[in-house]
Amino acid sequence: MPEATHGVLEDPVALLQDLVRINSVNPDLVPGAAGEAALADFTADWLQRRGFTVTRLEAVSGRPSIVAVAAGTGGGKSLMFNGHLDTVTLAGYDGDPLEPRLEDDRMYGRGTFDMKAGIAAMMTAAAAAASRPHAGDIIVALVADEEFASAGTEEVLRHFTADAAIVSEPTHEDIVIAHRGFVWFDVTIHGTAAHGSRPDLGIDAIAKTGRFLTGLDELSRSLLTGPGHAVLGTGSIHASLIRGGEELSSYPAACTVSLERRTVPGESAATVEGELREILDAIAASDPDFSYTLAAGLERHAFEVPADAPIVRAVMAAAGAVMGQAAAVRGEAFWTDASLMLEAGIPGLLFGVDGAGAHAATEWVDLGSLKRVSHILAATATDFCH
């Protein structure tokens, strides 16, 4: 690893051990879970002792996000590091999820990969870069609730902005410049309730739904074989839940299919609604007993920044210097808070550690990767905020 041009980098491995030992399971995923408060307290104290000005945002009591700022001298570009404090459940983890275990240059424990290693890398990197003269602000946003509804990042963006952002979700040391979005819909097919002995009075909503599910399967296959996005490939659609009927001896009056459509740039709730109505209206045109209602749910937009954006160039240069080779640039299938940040006017990217086991029974991070990512983030901040 070349000699660092940023300040002294503290040990991210020791910091990660401290982070893993603090329970931060999201209570919206596991009712009664600890939440982010204790971890927010720890990270706020750590950053404050290194000269950062810390703001605690807590629109929902017990669910704080921390924003720490090392103010620049002025005239430079500001950079926001973003990472989430919350983890998924401890239940079902193989071993003690809150006791970090070191073995074969790996650390095991809940959150090591997703994403307390990213937090450790961001914190040590920001502190190292902030210890040197810098014109632009260096901002560390450690947010609540990313694993459920992203309320933490939404709250941060109501109060803070930056010229660029790095979200240190685990990316296996690749630079991620695009990811898919998603939109949820409920499709309810209506029938007529009647006693099971009176087919002359009843219309079976569940049976009618079968034609829609066939159309949905055809749409799914059409999407997967379509032209797609240059970085992300094609979108997709699937039926996630189906609910209908009251009892065995009755014709069901309604059947609701809850579905998810994964989107790429250029696709939205409006375009997805058009796809669904095309299927449904075609069925209704051939069947006078077929009727439906369509209700849009949560939408999260796809994310994309240009490959030559200033923040991408800065991370590319730092990664090349530390790793001795160019980092891969690619897209990602899952959605992240980077989309919310871009919508708020902050272009960014994803860059994080190598490892495995997000949300799984065994979770680990590669410690060599953690050290490299920490150096790369520190060098990026030093260059971007100079």
Q: How many structural domains comprise the chain?
A: 2
Q: Does 164 lie in the same domain as 91?
A: yes
Domain-embedded: residue 1: no
**Does residue 2 form part of some domain?**
no
Question: Does one domain contain both 260 and 321?
Answer: no
Sequence-ordered alpha helix ranges (H) in 287-350: 310-323, 338-343
Phi, psi of 53, rounded to the nearest 5 degrees: -90, 120
- Residue whose tokens read 């410049």: 177
Kindly state whether residues 230 and 168 are assigned to the same domain: no
Question: Is residue 127 domain-shared with residue 229, that is, in the same domain?
Answer: no
Structure tokens at 53: 């000005």
CB 144 within 8 A of CB 64: yes
Range of the domain at 250: 181-300
Residue 5 within a domain = no
Q: Is the dihedral of CA 176, 84, 300, 294 positive or negative?
A: positive
Closest listed residue to residue 165, CA positions, set 386, 366, 380: 380
- Does 42 reside within a domain? yes
Amino acid at 344: A
CATH code of the domain covering residue 292: 3.30.70.360
The verdict on residue 62 lying in a domain is yes
User: Do 215 and 358 fall into the same domain?
Assistant: no
Q: Is residue 279 part of a domain?
A: yes
Same-domain pairing of 139 and 68: yes
Q: Residue 310's domain is classified under what CATH number? A: 3.40.630.10
Residues 28 and 57 in one domain: yes
Tens-level pLDDT at each residue, the chain (386 residues): 444 567 789 999 999 999 999 999 999 999 999 999 999 999 999 999 999 999 999 999 999 999 999 999 999 999 999 999 999 999 999 999 999 999 999 999 999 999 999 999 999 999 999 999 999 999 999 999 999 999 999 999 999 999 999 999 999 999 999 999 999 999 999 999 999 999 999 999 999 999 999 999 999 999 999 999 999 999 999 999 999 999 999 999 999 999 999 999 999 999 999 999 999 999 999 999 999 999 999 999 999 999 999 999 999 999 999 999 999 999 999 999 999 999 999 999 999 999 999 999 999 999 999 999 999 999 999 999 99
In this structure, are 41 and 169 located in the same domain? Answer: yes
- Domain termination site, one of 253, 284, 300: 300
Q: Quickly count: other Cβ atoms within 10 Å of residue 17's Cβ.
A: 19
* Among candidate residues 263, 281, 300, the one where a domain is terminated: 300
Same domain (yes/no): 278, 308: no
Q: Does 7 fall in a domain? A: no
Ramachandran angles phi, psi of 224, nearest 5°: -65, -20
